[in-house]
Amino acid sequence: MSDEQAPVLEAVDVTVHYPVHRARGEIVHALENASLRLHPGRTVALVGESGSGKSTFARTLALAQEPTSGRVLLGGEPASARGRRARRAYAGRVQMVLQDPFGSLNPLHRVRYLLERPLRLHGAVTDREDLERRLRALLERVRLTPPERFLDAFPHELSGGQRQRVAIARALAVEPEVLLGDELVTMLDVSIRLEILNLLAALRDEEHLAMLYITHDIAGARYFADEIAVMYAGEIVEYGTAEDVTQTPAHPYTRLLLDSTPDPDRMEFLAGRRTGGLDGMAPDAAEDDYGEPPDLVHPPTGCRFHPRCPLARPSCSSEAPPRVDVTERHWAACVLLLDPDEDDAHGHTTTREMTP
Ligand code: SF4
């Protein structure tokens, strides 16, 4: 969204389909025409429930998943991970941190070895003294101090938060331009999550890293990200600044996500809107059960959200909604944005401005 600087990493109309049962010809439609730009010093949060395609998107950006169609551009050039040299060069610029630090750090190795490896592989080390200096600096960058307390520890001797800091340090060892974080605070205690998010925010600002922050927690994304992309069933259904998407959500799915997340500012906002009768969604929408995420082998026709959408119209089951600009920096894919004054299929009247 921000055009202040050219994007460092970009996905252009990326689609990922993969076979699940070749004999039956079954295909998972994991990602459809998804586009995203990551800029230096900025964070985009990719938000959605499990199975929405967030991780597939991150793996595609990391070139761990080949897209069926579409392009990934790094520094404006088509990205490639064909061959060892290309893979290593790409990993030197784009790094991924996973959800489970215990699973991603080899328990048989000490922190020293885990950090030394990427430093040596990417040719950054000149001699033993230089290596020692770099190891200490890495631990200091992720606020694991004093470094000597952690260098010879095994992963199991560290807390969950400390392990995740080591995983971040390992990603930083190659001095990447992009950090892709897949639910990287989900498995941590609530008290630790904020510390890790603050650390990531400081690294982003101080080192001008471009970040993708994958999460199912839209309220947390609001405080950490500059922009939010909301994913549903393999599609980006809403995109905008974190403020716009969370304070003036335009897509019914985003509204349900927000309604199921306690957020004091947001609750006040919603209460005001409901009192004023501007919100077309049923007041008890958040408490209703709108069913399970769809099967991506046989995704719903038309708007993929229509089987669960409290505002669906008859046409929603057959016609894919267009992407509609709500403001210059905010769009959503929903037919209601074209004509908000008609009744929906469930009898709700959608007489509201999508952005107050
Ligand atoms: Fe709901 Fe229709 Fe909008 Fe899809 S296009 S979110 S089904 S109203």
- Residue of 58, 60, 136, 135 lying closest to 97 (CA atoms): 58
DSSP 173: T
Looking from the CA of residue 310, the nearest atom of ligand 1 is: 1
**What's the Cα-to-Cα distance from 229 to each of 61, 255, 335, rounded to whole Å?**
15, 13, 18
Q: Are 200 and 211 in contact (CB under 8 A)?
A: yes
pLDDT at res. 195: 86
Q: How far apart are CA 231 and CA 125, in angstroms?
A: 41
- In sign, the C-alpha dihedral spanning 70, 292, 250, 179 is negative
Comparing 336 with 291, the larger pLDDT belongs to: 336
Its pTM stands at 0.84
- Residue of 286, 246, 250, 290 lying closest to 269 (CA atoms): 246
Name residues whose C-beta falls within 8 Å of residue 127's C-beta, 6 or more positions apart in sequence: none
- Compute, in angstroms, the gap from residue 164 CA to the centroid of ligand 1: 39
Q: Is the CB of residue 336 below 6 angstroms from any atom belonging to ligand 1?
A: yes
Residue whose CA is closest, atom 5 of ligand 1?
334
Q: Is the pLDDT of residue 211 over 70?
A: yes
pLDDT at res. 84: 85
- Compute, in angstroms, the gap from residue 282 CA to the centroid of ligand 1: 14
Q: Is 285 helix (H, G, I), strand (E, B) or coil?
A: helix
Looking from the CA of residue 313, the nearest atom of ligand 1 is: 2
- As a whole number, mean pLDDT of residues 29-55 equals 94
pLDDT at res. 214: 93
**In the beta sheet, which residues pair with residue 331?**
239, 325
* Percent of the chain that is helix, strand, coil (3-state, to 5): 35, 20, 45
Q: Is the CB of residue 309 below 6 angstroms from any atom belonging to ligand 1?
A: yes
* pLDDT tens figures, 85-134: 888 899 999 999 887 766 778 889 999 999 998 998 877 777 888 999 99
Q: Is the pLDDT of residue 2 over 90?
A: no
Pairing of strands 178-182, 210-215: parallel
Q: Is the pLDDT of residue 24 over 80?
A: no
Compute the residue count for the chain: 356
- Compute, in angstroms, the gap from residue 333 CA to the centroid of ligand 1: 8
pLDDT band at 5 (very low <50, low <70, confident <90, very high): confident
Q: Is the pLDDT of residue 224 over 50?
A: yes
pLDDT band at 340 (very low <50, low <70, confident <90, very high): low
Comparing 311 with 284, the larger pLDDT belongs to: 311
Comparing 23 with 113, the larger pLDDT belongs to: 113
Q: Is the CB of residue 306 below 6 angstroms from any atom belonging to ligand 1?
A: yes
pLDDT at res. 171: 93
- As a whole number, mean pLDDT of residues 299-307 equals 95
DSSP string, 46-84: EE--TTSSHHHHHHHHTTSS--SEEEEEETTEE----SH
Residue whose CA is closest, atom 1 of ligand 1?
312
Average pLDDT, the chain: 84
- Compute, in angstroms, the gap from residue 250 CA to the centroid of ligand 1: 11
Q: Is the pLDDT of residue 153 over 80?
A: yes
- As a whole number, mean pLDDT of residues 136-164 equals 93
pLDDT band at 271 (very low <50, low <70, confident <90, very high): very low
pLDDT at res. 285: 41
Q: Is the CB of residue 312 below 6 angstroms from any atom belonging to ligand 1?
A: yes
The residue assigned the tokens 């592989």 is: 121
* pLDDT tens figures, 9-21: 999 999 999 888 7
Q: Is the CB of residue 308 below 6 angstroms from any atom belonging to ligand 1?
A: no
Q: Is the CB of residue 335 below 6 angstroms from any atom belonging to ligand 1?
A: yes
Q: How far apart are CA 220 and CA 268, in angstroms?
A: 17
Q: Is the CB of residue 225 below 6 angstroms from any atom belonging to ligand 1?
A: no
pLDDT at res. 120: 87
Residue whose CA is closest, atom 6 of ligand 1?
334
Q: What percent of the chain has pLDDT over 70?
A: 84
- Compute, in angstroms, the gap from residue 148 CA to the centroid of ligand 1: 56
* pLDDT tens figures, 240-260: 999 999 999 999 999 999 988
Q: Is the CB of residue 233 below 6 angstroms from any atom belonging to ligand 1?
A: no
Residue 40 CB neighbour total at 10 angstroms: 19
- Compute, in angstroms, the gap from residue 291 CA to the centroid of ligand 1: 15
Name residues whose C-beta falls within 8 Å of residue 289's C-beta, 6 or more positions apart in sequence: none
Measured over all CA atoms, what is the biggest interatomic distance in the chain, rounded to whole angstroms? 72
First CA to last CA distance, the chain: 21
Q: List the Cα angle 270/337/356 in 5-degree steps.
A: 35
Q: Is the CB of residue 305 below 6 angstroms from any atom belonging to ligand 1?
A: yes
* pLDDT tens figures, 317-329: 999 999 999 999 9
pLDDT at res. 127: 86
Q: What percent of the chain has pLDDT over 90?
A: 59
Q: Is the pLDDT of residue 344 over 60?
A: no
- As a whole number, mean pLDDT of residues 297-319 equals 94
